Structure 1
Amino acid sequence: MPNSELMPIGVFARRTGLTASALRFYADSGVLTPVEVDPVSGYRYYGADRVARATALRQLRDIAMPITVVEAVLDAEPGEASRLIDEHVAKVLGDASAVQQKAASIKYSLTEVRSLLIAALKGPVLADAIEQVLTATAHEPGMPVLGALHVEAMQEAVTLTATDRYRLATRTLVPAEATAAAWAATVDGDELRAAISDIRRSALVRVEVTQHGFWLRMADREDRHCRLLSEEFPDYRLMLASLPEATTRVTLSKDLLLRALEEHPEDRITLRVTHHGLNVLATEAEAPGVPLAATTTGLNLQISFEPTTLCPAVSTAIGPDVMPDLRGPDQPVTIRSADRGDLTTLTMPIKSDRSA
């Protein structure tokens, strides 16, 4: 390469955002070598063809990737490079979560704040409930409460609730051991989600709270800590109390309904309820759709949903049969098990094309 096409280390540093000292380190490491080194002065010169590699190197180091992994990413094919980056990100997130848990334990031991036992729950039952209710959450910038779980504890019941404004899920659990504590707060949903695996493998989980934290105490595993959110949780009880009476009730097999929903990957699913049963339509055309055997009472009704709101509500219902209570094409639908009501999900329909 002619010398006129080479850049001295200072120019190359400005082009790539790397310092000269960093470039010397990467050259000595063999990750980013100069094109030419002056044998007399020792000056290093880089070609324009090294700019892309140097920029990618800087970006990878900005996400705290070890130099050995950086070199592997830079020399890999695109698919392998993506896999290595994903592995690194997963490790960083896992390390951060472990550090966060350790920090919470340290703060707890230093402050010696007394904790309050609010419930003792069977681990597998609690894990299932958290997983089911968190399906009604969403990550929305500036509104962390929509990705959180609201926990209310009374002497004989613990209620878990979540909402993303389009869905609402709530489940009530009976504690394995009753306590006299009454408590309510909103808990970080992501941290609870990360603890589900440990909770499920624990026979009994003691739920304790302090002023700033929510603790899951497990006899055979390390305690897990979750942050409490200061934002006010939506008044879901007022919303539930203001719902009109259901005008149509359907009872049918959960598995059959899910199978029919999965056969329609479109962005709109329409349910047509008549006295003869239920039809699942991909559109609001007059085609018969997928007829399902169902027990129906009340008014005939046609109602539409986005699959991303309806499918999770149906799939998390407890038991073999699901029971939607319908109030009209523009009212929330209550979905619960036909024989167990401790998990209830409300799902908002979408506007019908026919009424547009």
Structure 2
Amino acid sequence: MPPTESMPIGVFARRSGLTPSALRFYDDAGLLRPAETDPVSGYRYYREEQVARATALRRLRELAMPLATVATVLDAGPEEASRLVDEQVAKVTEDAAAVRREAAALKSSLTGAPWLPIAALKGPVLADAVEQVLTATAHEPGAPVLSGVRVEAAPGAVTLTATDRYRLATRTLAPAGTPVTGWAGTADGDELRSATAGIRRTPWVRLEATPYGLRFRLGDRGDRHCGLLPGEYPDHRQMLACLADVTTRVTLSKERLLRLLEEHPGERITLRVTDAGVATDRAEGGTLLPAVVTGPETRVRFALTTLYPAVSTALGPEVMLDLRGPDQPMTVRSADRGDLTTLAMPVSADRSPVT
């Protein structure tokens, strides 16, 4: 008969999320001994207070943590356990990034196609541009292309663009000389992000492409690879071409506007633009920001998750807001540099995004 207040291995397995075979293995490894073992049948029985250790053991193994480290973590104090978990996460992350880089290089080489020279760009400038436009990407089921960055090369310009349908960020860079050829592709956003550290530390980066990948030539630092995402990218050029005329233009301090957004208590914020400046709606508290305003008064409502990244990535101390009405995209850009432009979609009165 099972001991009082003990549970058989099958019940304990369901409670802990571990399989019976895993529990037997961890018993043999000394990580999770049963509370009782029937001397005749060999059946294992566990107690309620062991569920927490078993659950922690399962979660640590899901981090691909070695058994020896798992044993140390389970018996360590909170500070030491936290440090060991952080070390494991860093290792797994580094390993995953290495696998992604190797996979991107492998896919590019499998085509047998020669690398096509695209352009040479300043590494620090390219890294900044990548990080700025990546804020407008999104991981959406059924639309993997939205997690990527559209890279387009044309005579005298390399343009990076990203959109999650509610924001669109685009930045144009001047290459060294004229790009060898026109080219366009959608770079995997995660792989591109992992390449930025090496790109930032390289004075000049040569960009090359095959039908399935990009290669960043970093000189003495080696190469970084980035895969290309399949699928048709949203027609952002047509959207930009179809924008309505600007009705109201606002120039104000980027720092003050960001502070206003950070201190706003709600998930939505209404910007009220008048001759006196920019404020939140009076019903929401009404802090006035000095601004240079041309055009009629207007109110536009945004989700903070849309507006804040659009403003925070703008270049320079002042931002220029081009408004087209309460149901039209607003353009956010630097007041003195126009090579980074972000569009932010407002929300309607019923709190849904305007599409």
> Cα 1:177–1:46, aligned 2, differ >3 Å: closer, same or farther?
farther
CA distance in 2 between counterparts of 1:280 and 1:87 reads 46
Say whether residues 1:349 and 2:346 are aligned partners. yes
In structure 2, the CA distance between the partners of 1:2 and 1:162, relative to structure 1 (3 Å rule), is closer
Q: Which secondary structure does the structure 2 equivalent of 1:136 belong to?
A: coil
> Amino acid of the residue matched to residue 234 of structure 2?
P
Counterpart-to-counterpart distance in 1, 2:345 and 2:93? 34
> Hey, what's the Cα distance between the residues in 2 that align with 1:307 and 1:51?
41
The answer (yes or no) to whether the contact 1:124–1:203 under 8 Å persists in 2 is yes
Hey, what does 1:329 align to over in structure 2?
326
Distance 2:74 2:98 in 1: 29
Q: How far does residue 100 in structure 1 lie from its aligned partner after superposition?
A: 2.6
- Greater Cα shift, 289-298 or 233-242: 289-298
Contact 1:121–1:177, Cα closer than 8 Å, also in 2: no
After TM superposition, give the deviation of residue 177 of structure 1 in Å.
Answer: 3.6
What are the within-5 Å matches in structure 2 for residues 47-58 of structure 1? 47-49=46-48, 50=50, 53-54=53-54, 56-58=56-58
Amino acid aligned to 2:97: S
| Alignment-derived partner of residue 18 in structure 1 | 19
Q: List aligned pairs for 1:300-315, cutoff 5 A.
A: 300-315=297-312
Q: 1:70-219 maps to which residues of 2 (within 5 A)?
A: 70-75=70-75, 84-85=84-85, 87-106=87-106, 108=108, 112-219=112-219
Change (3 A) 1:4 1:270: closer
Contact 2:206-2:216 within 8 A present in 1 as well: yes
**Alignment match, 2:33:** 33
User: How many residue pairs get matched?
Assistant: 349
Q: Which residue is equivalent to 1:291?
A: 288
Structure 2 distance, partners of 1:299, 1:14, is: 65
> What do residues 13-44 of structure 1 show as CA deviations (whole Å, max 9, x unaligned)?
78864354x545423432112334577x7946
Identity %: 62
Query: Contact 1:8 / 1:43 at 8 angstroms: preserved in 2?
Result: no
Q: 1:38 to 1:251 in 2, by over 3 A?
A: closer
Partner of 1:280: 279
Q: Is the 8 A contact 1:305 1:349 kept in 2?
A: yes
Separation in 1 of the partners of 2:79 and 2:282?
41
- TM-score, structure 2 length as denominator? 0.87
SS in structure 2 of the partner of residue 165 of structure 1: coil
Match of 1:339 in 2: 336
Cα distance in 2 for partners of 1:167, 1:252 equals 21
- 8 Å Cα contact 1:153-1:183 kept in structure 2: yes
Tell me how far 1:79 sits from its aligned partner: 8.0
Equivalence for 2:238: 238
Deviations 1:304-334 (A, max 9, x none): 1111111111111112221111111111001
Give the C-alpha shift of residue 214 in structure 1: 1.1
Q: Supply the distance in 2 between the matched residues of 1:286 and 1:52 (Cα, whole angstroms).
A: 46
1:220 alignment partner, SS class: helix
Deviates more, 1:80-89 or 1:291-300: 80-89
Relative to structure 1, the CA distance from residue 179 to residue 279 in structure 2 (aligned partners, 3 Å threshold; closer, same or farther) is: closer
Matched letter for residue 343 of structure 2: L
Q: Which amino acid aligns with 1:312?
A: P
Name the SS of the counterpart of 2:191 in structure 1: helix
Matched with 1:46 is 45
Query: What secondary structure is seen at the aligned counterpart in 2 of 1:303?
Result: strand
CA contact 1:303–1:329 (8 Å) conserved in 2: yes
Offset at residue 273 of structure 1 (A): 1.3
Q: CA deviation at 1:251?
A: 1.2
Name the CA shift for 1:42/1:70 in 2 (closer, same or farther; >3 Å): farther
